[in-house]
Structure 1
Amino acid sequence: MVWGPGVAAGLDLYAINPTYRTPGAARTSYSGRQPIRNGDLADLVTDVLDLPLVPGAEFNRARALTVSR
């Protein structure tokens, strides 16, 4: 999902983002602790590119996804 300078090969995003829940093979709901979703990645990309949050995004959360140690 994530590649670039400072991002270690094989890095487990869930290991360094403990507020997210690993979904495993299960289908997840929108209640409780959430897995990393496409919307989180969109927010990460807009942050890296110094752009505003995605207009009309359903998540529209703080950009809290960590991708390097």
Structure 2
Amino acid sequence: MSTATYNITEIAQLLGIGTSAAYAAAKRDELPVPVIRIGGRIVIPRKPLDDLLGITPDPQEAA
């Protein structure tokens, strides 16, 4: 089962940028998707990024 969010490392890989650049973009609210901050943790909802990148979820992961 996949989680409902991506972490910043996963976002960096998907967007083809470095982890430091992804953290900096999240801090400046420059990522093209919503950013959720919980304490010191940054997560990004999976659906908005998947929609932006045209990623379709694997139906077996949803089961």
Q: TM-score range by the shorter chain?
A: 0.3 to 0.5
> What's the TM-score, normalizing by structure 1?
0.32
Instruction: Name whichever structure is richer in helix by fraction.
Output: 2
Higher normalized strand content (fraction of residues): 2
TM-score by length of 2: 0.34
Structure number with bigger Rg: 1
